[in-house]
Chain A
Amino acid sequence: MALTNEHIKQRLIEKFDTQVSSFEEPYGMLTFEAPKDMNLKVLNFLYDDAELKFRFMTDLTAVHYPDQPGRELAVVYHLHNLEDNIRIRFKVFTDINKPDVYTATALFSAANWMERETYDFYGVNFIGHPNLKRILNVDEMDYFPLRKQYPLEDQSRVDKDDEMFGRGGTLGFGTEKTQHGTITEMEKNDVGDEIV
């Protein structure tokens, strides 16, 4: 019998009662959450259970929700049961001031770098990780760049000389010009008029 989302949900509720919550099925994928200190228990159950057999970790990442005090960071696991070919998504939420989550490296070797990446970009501290250091960014970096408080560069900034890239400056590459560039041109013209 192939597994169904409904059945997985029942099994989880039988085992963990009210501790697993927020069951949803966005675009057909069963999604649920658990308290963060339960993450290994849930992952272990999903892995070991003779019926569920979620033994392939497809993906691990984090999402930052600055508007949810106390649960700003979500660590998201995508698991796959290759035999029955069904995927689920499992989330744990954590406080951004104390982003400690147990590591899944003992269960999945694949989690090693994915957790390092998650630490690198979101600062999630995976307790028990064998080598938790930055992986894509430089070691000296002192912030976690994918958090929402770090906006991308403002396209209309003026302190940067990127004339050669078609933005701002006086060369004016047609449509590439920013609003700032246009205003400067207008101001120049105004000044010119006054002199005349």
Chain B
Amino acid sequence: MRRSPPILIALSLAASSPALGATLDLAARPAAVASVTLAAAAQIPATAAPIAAPPAARPPHAKGDPWERFNRGMFHFFQKIDRAVFRPLALGLGKVIPKPIRDGLRNFLSNVNEPIVFMNDLLQLKPKRALRTLGRFTLNTAVGLGGLADVAKLAKLPHRNNSLGNTLARYGVGPGPYIFLPFLGPSTLRDFGGEQADQIVLPLAVGKPFNRLDWQLATAGFSGLNQRIETDEDFRTLLSGAADPYATLRSVYLQSRLAEIAEIKGKSSAAPATFDDPLDDPALQESAAPADPAAPAEPPADPPADPQVDPQAEALPPSP
């Protein structure tokens, strides 16, 4: 939740309702995802672990989330701060500062970040996309009062986020471990690192005011609080009914990034990446492949989903 424009993370309504408009702009940063590499990377340990490792040696975490214990700690810590301070502060601020002013500031900070988007468009060898980003930046800076008004959106040049995390994914870098940090939200090692690098560019290339600590604190503070205001309802919709909010957020975040990476890689966006999961019926699998933990049925975007890989699930005593 830094100055970088939020990516739109679409969050499904937790359980069944494809409810109205639950997009969650939780988006901490431009980068974030589980690339298709995750599927490949994740399947290898999934195959090997249960066979090679003795049961006691299995790490107590879900696939793709080796730092789960730490992450869960951070998540619960953040939930406490959020309930006690952060959310009340954000919502209070939302009442004091009118939405048009907040939107203007958000647009301005998003516009400031467009050169980084442009840079990544180029790094990904996407000249058309880069031109659109450049056009957007020029238009908003010149006509949109330095970016306060998003006039480019009206000219069919909407904001399309891009980041070094996407660029790395484009060239085959896998997501690495999942990370959840308070205020920064969900990410992966690749995307977190990518974001840090993205954020150094302006301070190094332009200098003032981007290299000033007060600028960085003020913009990060504003972006974080504003995002909290705008995502409050979606957050509640997603997580209020969740049995395991941490795992739900992780799953939705990783699936959403998987879709973004698929788009960056030029895969047909017609079908979601998770459509590739064959969703084999467990009742039929019994006869076909009794206990193959590496069954290709594994949802690539969803590390915690396969109970066979979850040590706790494996330790489950048969129900009486």
The answer to whether A and B assemble together is no
Chain A interface residues toward B at CB < 8 A: none
